[in-house]
């Protein structure tokens, strides 16, 4: 068992009548990259703000490195945050922004030490030589990296990231995802990221914690969450899935890419549990794969994603074509319908 | 297609009122003042054409007025800024938004009565039967406030506070509150956050307010007349005296030119100082 750096013990937070976080028992392990995933209003940002010390829990306790920090203000906590819109100080140069944390320490490090640390931090985020510039001279991606340097220079117990990539465009977001991952491995600091973007959470994290209406629903590795979601909510939020109603409030969940599709039943592979006939309602060409919307008399509508590679066996289908589809028994999961 | 051939005429027509105003009521009078300042006093008073530097060489004779103005105007501005900042701060950061406008209006409320009346009220308050007589009860006897520089400063803070609060309020209200969280997150105590983030980012507002108050205070003559009682007089009082009493217009003109130059110089130096200490792009917008 790895050492726990931040721990919530039955943490709840209410804003008036609204319960933002309910009985949260999150534990962040030393050196991991953990993401809190959920739609807006699920309590993920409030959880983060309680770790940073901007909010205090209504009940429950917060521990950092085993020490109880409930009630301790933000400026006395050994964690640092990368804000959603970076929150760089507009009146300070890049170097002064990055050195801000060091300059608050007492005793204050010498000017030489500060300069050296700032240079190292800026090099780390590939912004060497940018120290004298002003924040408004930088692009969104560069400002993001300054915010990272400004936080990491303090060697925090945990780096808290509040939707750090939300303000970037799609291409830059992908680049920053890779960069964040590399950075985390290089510096070895624990990262805790809050996001509503499942792709972001799955691609970067060691573990993902899915939240809903103030509660943690499931925590696990991205693969665990994808392959063995505990209910329909997680299956729907982490990746896409087809849901077929089953007995006693349960649903059968089948991932679209695990469904085989062919022109006739006899062309389907061996060992399928379910076979059904249907019609192609819609087709979306996505390059590396094609997404079909299928209507079947027995099962209703569902989606199938066929990889390009499978086309030389099954061929392609047009809207209105009759097809057969099926899946292996182990690929269907019976889940509680929330 | 729209015909834009007449657009230059429209632009000219729109600029005309302001243009006429500035040319006839600002530039022309300034030129007249400048010309007069090199002239001589007519025997019966007024202006007589001449070219002499005597008026300027004679400026030290009004040194006391210059000294009072140049010490009390900046000091009064500073005290007003110090008094206004907490008000603006509480209004912008600690007050429920639904009360803010009401409170701002209340701060402006003194402007609804005549300035003269309010200074009269202060004469009563600061006079021997006012605050000094109350202080005598608690053992501080024989304190004279009225007709001293202190009275002028109290009047300045009271009179100009409503002008100083709004610009500071606006710059604090615009301040991104996440910057305060970022500062705390990086380990700065609330006090350090105030001096390292809040104050520098509110400086453009302080500069705007100070400019406003400073200019008005430099040229004021009612305040020193009433609360200074002729003992603490400003350049404004000297001008009134020169133009209306001794009717030495050329000398008065020279004093005016000196006042304008001093104001221009102080303001440009001050703005340069403020701009160097704050985010230039933001300051330009305020």
pLDDT tens digits along A16-37? 999 999 999 999 999 999 999 9
**Structural domains in chain A?**
4-234 (3.40.50.300), 242-336 (2.40.50.100)
- Closest residue of chain B to A81, computed from CA coordinates: B185
Q: What residues of A are in contact with residue B200 (Cβ under 8 Å)?
A: 91
Whether residue B286 has pLDDT greater than 50: no
Distance from CA of B87 to the nearest CA of A (A): 23
Distance from CA of A51 to the nearest CA of B (A): 11
pLDDT tens digits along A40-59? 999 999 999 999 999 999 99
Point out the residue among B178, B192, B278 whose CB comes nearest to the CB of A91.
Answer: B278
Whose CA is closest to A151, among B202, B186, B92?
Answer: B186
Q: What mean pLDDT is predicted for residues B22-34?
A: 95
Whether residue A238 has pLDDT greater than 80: yes
- pLDDT category, B280, cuts 50, 70, 90? low
Residue A89 and residue B278: Cβ atoms within 8 Å? no
The answer to whether residue A279 neighbours chain B at the CB level (below 8 Å) is no
Residue B201 and residue A52: Cβ atoms within 8 Å? no
**Contact (Cβ atoms closer than 8 angstroms) between residue A235 and residue A331:** no
Nearest-angstrom CA–CA distance, B261 and B210:
18
Q: What mean pLDDT is predicted for residues A202-214?
A: 94
- pLDDT category, A171, cuts 50, 70, 90? confident
- Cβ within 8 Å of A, B 167-196: 176, 178-179, 181-190, 192-193, 196
The answer to whether residue B279 neighbours chain A at the CB level (below 8 Å) is yes
**Contact (Cβ atoms closer than 8 angstroms) between residue A5 and residue A158:** yes
Point out the residue among B179, B184, B190 whose CB comes nearest to the CB of A89.
Answer: B179
pLDDT tens digits along B128-164? 888 888 888 888 878 888 999 999 999 999 999 999 9
Residue A75 and residue B187: Cβ atoms within 8 Å? yes
Q: What residues of B are in contact with residue A72 (Cβ under 8 Å)?
A: none
Instruction: Find all residues with CB under 8 Å of B3, minimum gap 6, and list them.
Output: none
Residue B181 and residue A134: Cβ atoms within 8 Å? no
Q: What mean pLDDT is predicted for residues A172-193?
A: 92
pLDDT tens digits along A136-147? 999 989 999 999
Give, for B250, the enclosing helix (H) or strand (E). Answer: helix B249-276
- Residue A291: CB atoms within 10 A of its CB come to 16
In 3-state terms, what secondary structure has residue B286?
coil
**Structural domains in chain B?**
62-285 (1.10.3720.10)
Give, for A100, the enclosing helix (H) or strand (E). Answer: helix A100-103
Q: pLDDT averaged over chain A?
A: 92
Q: What residues of B are in contact with residue A87 (Cβ under 8 Å)?
A: 176, 178-179, 181-182
Nearest-angstrom CA–CA distance, A127 and A144:
11
**Contact (Cβ atoms closer than 8 angstroms) between residue A208 and residue A229:** no
The proportion of chain B whose per-residue pLDDT surpasses 70, expressed as a percent, equals 95
Residue B279 and residue A90: Cβ atoms within 8 Å? yes
Distance from CA of A301 to the nearest CA of B (A): 47
| Sheet arrangement for strand A289-296 | A260-262, A322-327, A274-285, A289-296, A300-307
Whether residue B285 has pLDDT greater than 70: no
Residue A136 and residue B178: Cβ atoms within 8 Å? no
Q: Model's pTM, two decimal places?
A: 0.83
pLDDT tens digits along A260-294? 999 888 888 888 888 899 999 999 999 889 999 99
Q: What mean pLDDT is predicted for residues A161-174?
A: 88
Q: What residues of B are in contact with residue A90 (Cβ under 8 Å)?
A: 179, 201, 279, 281-282
pLDDT for the residue B272: 83
The answer to whether residue A104 neighbours chain B at the CB level (below 8 Å) is yes
Q: What mean pLDDT is predicted for residues B63-82?
A: 96
pLDDT for the residue B279: 53
pLDDT for the residue B8: 87
Radius of gyration of chain B (CA): 24
Nearest-angstrom CA–CA distance, A207 and A34:
5
Q: What mean pLDDT is predicted for residues B79-84?
A: 97
- Residue B101: CB atoms within 10 A of its CB come to 10
pLDDT tens digits along B245-261? 999 999 999 999 999 99
pLDDT for the residue B278: 61
pLDDT for the residue B270: 84
The answer to whether residue A81 neighbours chain B at the CB level (below 8 Å) is yes
The size of chain B, in residues, is 286
pLDDT for the residue B2: 60
* Residue whose pair of structure tokens reads 């729907």 in the numeric block: A236
């Amino acid at each position: 068992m790895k050492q726990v750096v931040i721990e919530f013990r039955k943490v709840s937070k209410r804003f008036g009548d609204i319960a933002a976080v309910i009985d949260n028992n999150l534990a962040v392990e030393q050196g991991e990259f953990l993401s809190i995933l959920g739609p807006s209003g699920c309590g993920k940002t409030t959880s983060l703000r309680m770790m940073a010390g901007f909010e205090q829990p209504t009940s429950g306790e917060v521990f950092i490195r085993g020490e109880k920090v409930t009630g301790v203000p933000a400026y006395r906590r050994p964690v640092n945050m990368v804000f959603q819109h970076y929150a760089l100080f507009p009146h300070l140069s890049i170097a002064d922004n990055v050195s801000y944390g060091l300059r608050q320490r007492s005793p204050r490090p010498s000017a030489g030490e500060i300069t050296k640390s700032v240079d190292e931090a800026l090099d780390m985020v590939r912004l060497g030589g940018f120290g004298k510039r002003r924040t408004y001279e930088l692009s969104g991606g560069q400002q993001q990296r300054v915010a990272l340097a400004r936080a990491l220079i303090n060697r925090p117990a945990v780096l808290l990231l509040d939707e750090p990539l939300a303000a970037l465009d799609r291409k830059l977001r992908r680049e920053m995802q890779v960069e964040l991952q590399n950075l985390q491995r290089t510096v070895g600091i624990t990262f805790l990221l809050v996001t509503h973007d499942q792709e972001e959470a799955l691609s970067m994290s060691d573990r993902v914690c899915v939240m809903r209406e103030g509660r943690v629903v499931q925590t696990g590795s991205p693969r665990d969450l994808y392959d063995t979601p505990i209910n329909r909510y997680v299956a729907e939020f982490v990746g896409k899935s087809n849901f077929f109603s089953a007995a006693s409030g349960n649903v059968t969940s089948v991932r679209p890419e695990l469904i085989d599709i062919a022109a006739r039943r006899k062309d389907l592979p061996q060992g399928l549990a379910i076979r059904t006939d249907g019609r192609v309602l819609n087709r979306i060409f996505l390059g590396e794969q094609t997404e079909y919307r299928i209507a079947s008399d027995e099962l209703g509508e569902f989606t199938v994603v066929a990889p390009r590679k499978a086309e030389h066996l099954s061929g392609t289908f047009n809207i209105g074509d009759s097809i057969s589809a099926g899946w292996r028994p182990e690929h269907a999961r019976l889940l509680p319908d929330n | 297609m729209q015909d834009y051939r007449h657009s230059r005429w429209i632009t000219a027509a729109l600029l005309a009122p302001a243009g006429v105003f500035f040319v006839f009521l600002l530039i022309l009078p300034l030129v007249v003042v400048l010309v007069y300042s090199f002239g001589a006093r007519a025997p019966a008073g007024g202006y007589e054409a001449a070219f002499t530097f005597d008026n300027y060489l004679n400026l030290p004779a009004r040194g006391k007025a210059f000294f009072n103005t140049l010490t009390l105007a900046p000091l009064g501005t500073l005290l007003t800024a110090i008094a206004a900042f907490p008000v603006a701060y509480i209004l912008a950061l600690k007050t429920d938004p639904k009360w803010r406008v009401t409170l701002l209006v209340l701060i402006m409320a003194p402007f609804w009565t005549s300035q003269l009346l309010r200074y009269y009220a202060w004469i009563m308050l600061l006079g021997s039967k006012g605050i000094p007589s109350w202080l005598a009860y608690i053992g501080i006897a024989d304190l004279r406030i009225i007709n001293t520089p202190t009275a002028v400063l109290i009047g300045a803070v009271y009179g100009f506070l409503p002008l100083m609060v709004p610009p500071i309020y606006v710059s604090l209200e615009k301040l991104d509150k996440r910057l305060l969280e970022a500062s705390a997150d990086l380990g700065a105590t609330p006090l350090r956050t105030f001096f390292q983030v809040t104050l520098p980012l509110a400086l453009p507002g302080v500069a705007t307010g100070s400019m406003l108050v400073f200019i008005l205070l430099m040229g004021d003559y009612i305040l020193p007349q009433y609360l200074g009682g002729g003992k603490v007089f400003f350049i404004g009082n000297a001008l009134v005296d020169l133009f209306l009493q001794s009717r030495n217009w050329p000398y008065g003109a020279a004093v005016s030119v000196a006042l304008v130059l001093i104001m221009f110089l102080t303001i440009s130096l001050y703005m340069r100082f403020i701009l160097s200490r704050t985010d230039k792009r933001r300051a330009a917008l305020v």
